[in-house]
Structure 1
């Protein structure tokens, strides 16, 4: 089994945090989004992963440190890491074809901007599984249309009239991803463009037209990391899941001085907390200092100092100095507010 991870986008909706760090490497509940996604997929697949192919963007932004981090992730799961580049942002289909040397055999394709909780039950008789989640506003999503046999017969992007309430979440299984590669090559060669880009859906639709069997897979939880507010919400939900799983979330090297932690919280190594209440639903990165503050439902990254703060629904980057009485903030790396 292979895992293919397109992650070349800059994450503009999550600025200023993605001005210095690619969105898939933003930490949620103490672990970068892409690390958590890939690890969770590998866990629920329940079979050896031979290769993980990461599709990155501009090397000036997705540099050697990103490559090193992703290589360690793959090797930690017993897999080979392959690194590809999408030189231009020409769509989901174009991104996947940037990794065409790895497009063979059984594979999961997963876009690195969401997190899931699921038990994958692969239908080995199907040519593909497309994972979906029931949503309240299907008109805001791409959805699947099902036949009476519970097979996917159509993909509809943001339907104006009701088709179904099952939204495509961006995770796909292909019994032979080489078949998708063949159809996406046709899309590229014949300049089949939708929304100004080459789309994975156009390759999938060609597979459907040839009679290949697509079935839905369902996830228990689907969590977005598209902007600050939903990322903070996802952090909250993930901490709740990890607490139920019995994970140890507070590092043994945390220094507490007249401090109170209201669980669940993730507190990384060598954090100092003085005269402060932290939690619930707070993630704090390594080597951070929190003083004379109350912080809840927030993400605080590494090497940051926060003083005299009352924070809720906040997201604070790395190497930040924050001293003030602000409440809802979103501060990127190396910011100072004194």
Structure 2
């Protein structure tokens, strides 16, 4: 597609919507009206023959509400406990909201191990395909309650970019509390300008700052997730989720404020996965092996000089030559 076709949102058929804690909370309380709006917007998209998946934060915030805790704790075990308390409550609100539109939802908790392992990645993909076939709206969250700190996505923005590839989606919509990406913080600078279209990772984007009160992300993680999507050949849009029916209006109103990240070119799902998957080890190779890789002949054991890290079949590793990464690949044995 050319630039104008990418800008035509009506062409996208499988959509991931990322909903952050800041969007569905209001003064440390759960904003059920906003969740109702999201359900209404998704119902509208489904009537346009679009398949929709939601990546939703908010479990910790819901746990805080249940226990009447006003300040987000710093302790990882406490936050994990709050997530386990809040997740059922969060899903009950979503279930009630979607029931108004005769829509069934499902809960899918994903851990980073489900992404790191190619086998588990493909198993999850099959589950989502089955859910779409059953006309269900999957609602995804990280499996915070049992995740190890060193093996966590850290924020659902990152998770959403991986889920987009996992389900072979073509549009990622990220909801935040501003109208998109600005050249300066709009909350501090009245002369800030909304960047409407991004086609490449410009230097000023790397200097962005900002983090939400209840969530783990912020504008920085949202821009990073958008770039992961666009570099993977998919379109990403950052919009203000605090506006009324933001998703529906994004599709109906061409003047709706947004920042859209346009893809450069199509990337195969497997390549997208390898490029963005955490490497669990390093293989140090000789020049003969490097020539074999360049000629797409694969890597044999005899070309490996040293191994670093702990990994299994199906994991991604870095390929090193003279202490420099020259490639990434999947371990086959």
TM range (shorter): under 0.3
TM-score between the two structures when normalised by the length of structure 1: 0.26
Greater per-residue strand proportion: 1
Greater per-residue helix proportion: 2
TM-score between the two structures when normalised by the length of structure 2: 0.26
